[in-house]
């Protein structure tokens, strides 16, 4: 074959994640796993005692936090090891054990929330006055009592905790099927050369200037999923049924409300997003038409969405990407930039390049006490620069949260996490547009921007509409099949294409199977709200507004110590209003306008 994806053993150590900083070896991981499994029952010594006095309660909170941190390291190491090589059976076994350990921790500690609720809000308030060490848990207690109606008895909570490993294992099944078992046919270029299609190489093939490479890669990828459509549909249906079961077990009226309630998000935020998205679809229709004219094709196909609009390829090796990201993030100050640079170039936060068996896409993941690691498939182009900036937004959010918050507030909801990631992209993009006024470079940066908006402000809202409808069908007891899923997805995408994009219904319909995000209850809509809030916050910082950067850094450091909407209000944006989503569409429209001007000028100069 003309081009293959390297084996993991062929990648230089400095471009792999710093696994040894978490555990020196898989054997050391196994020792830690065994110790945690042996000592978990010790937590039951607190069972029935949390209401004794303030000192017992604060001791429990400290001990349980310490256990969660140590278990988290074991969990993270197993999951990350499998993600970078899903064909490694030893790593797959670690991931399975890691999930089981976390499930056991949830079961063993299931008594705690019911017992703390039984203490009563008034008594807890008195104890916080008497015991200063309890005061940092004020938000935790407030959230606990907010959710009181949905906390079940200790026995029921224990069963739900024990069941979590089984209930969520279907996610792993889908990941293994997608990343290890599907064998995609090679893509073939216009000259007959072939290219290996994998989860890691896909975006690079989609960005090829050779339309035959793009077409054959897209068809190969779609057909790979279509060959297993019934299995994927069965998997996802079980996931939807799990969501319905858990919502009903905790006495929520719907899966949507169950999901949003966890982060104290009113359903109107979700509805506002969908309504605003549908109102602004003409902006997307206009973009498709401009892209078709710029490419000079009679009809635009889904595989043309990523086609380069310039003949100049922007070469962006990893080291260059790190420098561009650091320059773009300068408005947040030297401390932020120094930590980011050190993580990328010295501490090996990033598992950089595509390898055989590596899962698709990119993510930031770690645990308090580890580095905020990144798994990605870097391809030396502007799109990869953008992805690196995005994931570094997540990682720096984690880094600052872990430095300023206890374990109880060490994680943040996706609702705010996706703000940090898209914010970094907005600042880096702004820097690149200012730094180089060459029309070809400007077009390339705008293409990256519109590709990013396509994923987060077109695909993700479309998937959110798909997810809502499928959940509601399951809630009503209706039958769900691969064919019905494909038909719904195709209808939604065709509405978004507005007749400007031509695609075979089966191949665009299988899009739902290509996003493991759907296995997390109402996950995808938060990408769209995230990109909206991110651009609302980036504008004043890019304009140099006094205090804006400091407010944003306070938001990052707050971690989970505030409700998501309150944390964003601290930074300066109100997500209960449709206004940020409308403003993000206005930003999208400006990008489309500028792209049209530049591509028209390029076509005229070529005549």
Which residues are identified as catalytic? 391
- 3-state SS class at 375: strand
Angle at 95 between CA 94 and CA 96, to 5 degrees: 90
Separation between Cα atoms, residue 309 and residue 591, nearest integer Å: 14
Separation between Cα atoms, residue 354 and residue 360, nearest integer Å: 9
Q: Which residues contact 340 (CB under 8 A, 6 or more apart)?
A: 325, 326, 329, 392, 395, 396
For the chain, the farthest-separated pair of C-alpha atoms sits apart, in whole angstroms, at 84
Beta strands 373-375 and 194-195, pairing class = unpaired
- DSSP annotation of 370 reads B
Find out whether 519 and 239 touch, Cβ atoms under 8 Å: yes
- What would the two tokens of residue 41 be? 């029952």
Separation between Cα atoms, residue 21 and residue 19, nearest integer Å: 5
Q: Which residues contact 534 (CB under 8 A, 6 or more apart)?
A: 418, 419, 420, 421, 422, 423, 425, 426
Find out whether 60 and 108 touch, Cβ atoms under 8 Å: no
Find out whether 472 and 270 touch, Cβ atoms under 8 Å: no
Find out whether 391 and 364 touch, Cβ atoms under 8 Å: yes
Separation between Cα atoms, residue 361 and residue 377, nearest integer Å: 7
Beta strands 350-351 and 373-375, pairing class = parallel
- 3-state SS class at 573: coil
Number of neighbouring beta carbons within 10 Å of residue 389: 28
Q: Which candidate, 382, 388, 350, places its Cα nearest to that of 84?
A: 350
Find out whether 298 and 212 touch, Cβ atoms under 8 Å: no
Which sign does the torsion angle of CA 320, 326, 330, 331 carry? positive
Please name the residue that has the structure tokens 């039984």. 118
CA 382 to chain centre: 20
Number of neighbouring beta carbons within 10 Å of residue 566: 13
Where residue 526 falls (left for φ over 0; alpha for ψ -120 to 50; beta otherwise) is alpha
| Phi and psi torsions of 575, nearest 5° | -90, 5
Separation between Cα atoms, residue 320 and residue 22, nearest integer Å: 28
- What would the two tokens of residue 602 be? 């390029």
Separation between Cα atoms, residue 282 and residue 274, nearest integer Å: 14
- 3-state SS class at 164: helix
């Amino acid at each position: 074959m003309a081009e293959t994806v390297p084996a993991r053993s062929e990648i230089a150590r400095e471009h792999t994640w710093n696994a040894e900083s978490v555990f020196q070896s898989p054997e050391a991981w196994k020792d830690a796993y065994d110790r945690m499994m042996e000592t978990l029952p010790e937590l039951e010594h607190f069972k029935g005692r949390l209401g004794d006095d303030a000192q017992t309660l604060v001791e429990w909170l400290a001990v349980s936090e310490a256990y969660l941190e140590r278990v988290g390291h074991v969990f993270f190491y197993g999951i990350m090891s499998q993600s970078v090589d899903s064909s490694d059976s030893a790593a797959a076994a670690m991931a399975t054990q890691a999930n089981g350990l976390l499930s056991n921790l949830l079961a063993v500690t299931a008594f705690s929330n019911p017992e703390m609720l039984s203490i009563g809000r008034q008594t807890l308030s008195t104890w916080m006055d008497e015991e200063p060490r309890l005061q940092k848990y004020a938000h935790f207690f407030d959230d606990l009592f907010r959710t009181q109606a949905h906390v079940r008895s200790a026995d029921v909570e224990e069963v739900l905790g024990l069941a979590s490993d089984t209930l969520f294992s279907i996610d792993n099944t889908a990941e293994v099927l997608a990343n290890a078992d599907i064998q995609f046919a090679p893509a073939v270029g216009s000259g007959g050369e072939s290219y290996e299609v994998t989860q890691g190489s896909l975006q690079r093939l989609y960005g090829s200037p050779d339309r035959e490479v793009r077409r054959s890669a897209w068809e190969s990828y779609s057909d790979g999923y279509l060959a297993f459509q019934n299995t994927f549909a069965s998997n996802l249906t079980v996931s939807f049924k799990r969501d319905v079961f858990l919502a009903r077990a905790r006495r929520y009226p719907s899966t949507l409300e169950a999901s949003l309630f966890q982060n104290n998000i009113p359903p109107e935020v979700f509805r506002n997003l969908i309504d605003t998205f549908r109102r602004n679809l003409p902006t997307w229709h206009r973009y498709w038409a401009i892209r078709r004219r710029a490419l000079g094709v009679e009809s635009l196909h889904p595989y043309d969405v990523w086609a380069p609009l310039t003949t100049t390829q922007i070469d962006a090796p990893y080291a260059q990407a790190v420098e561009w990201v650091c320059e773009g993030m300068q408005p947040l100050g030297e401390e932020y930039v120094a930590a980011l640079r050190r993580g990328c170039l010295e501490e090996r936060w990033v598992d950089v390049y595509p390898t055989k068996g590596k899962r698709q896409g990119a993510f930031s993941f770690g645990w308090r006490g580890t580095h905020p690691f990144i798994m990605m498939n870097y391809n030396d182009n502007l799109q990869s620069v953008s992805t690196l900036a995005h994931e570094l937004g997540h990682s720096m959010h984690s880094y600052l949260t872990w430095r300023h918050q206890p374990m109880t507030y060490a994680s943040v909801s996706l609702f705010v996490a996706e703000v940090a990631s898209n914010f970094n992209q907005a600042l880096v993009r702004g820097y690149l547009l200012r730094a180089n006024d060459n029309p070809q470079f400007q077009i390339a940066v705008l293409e990256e921007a519109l590709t990013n908006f396509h994923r987060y402000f077109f695909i993700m809202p479309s998937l959110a509409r798909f997810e809502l409808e499928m959940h509601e069908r399951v809630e009503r007891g209706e039958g769900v099949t691969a064919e019905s899923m494909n038909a719904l997805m195709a209808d939604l995408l065709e509405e978004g294409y507005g007749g400007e994009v031509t695609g075979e219904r089966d191949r665009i319909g299988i899009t739902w199977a290509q996003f493991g995000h759907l296995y997390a209850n109402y996950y995808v809509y938060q990408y769209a709200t995230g990109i909206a809030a991110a651009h609302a916050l980036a504008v004043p910082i890019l304009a140099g507004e006094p205090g804006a950067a400091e407010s944003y850094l306070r938001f990052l450091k707050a971690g989970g110590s505030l409700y998501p909407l309150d944390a964003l209000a601290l930074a300066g944006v109100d997500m209960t209003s449709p206004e940020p989503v409308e403003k993000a569409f206005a930003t999208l429209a400006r990008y489309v306008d500028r792209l049209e001007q530049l591509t028209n000028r390029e076509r005229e100069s070529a005549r």
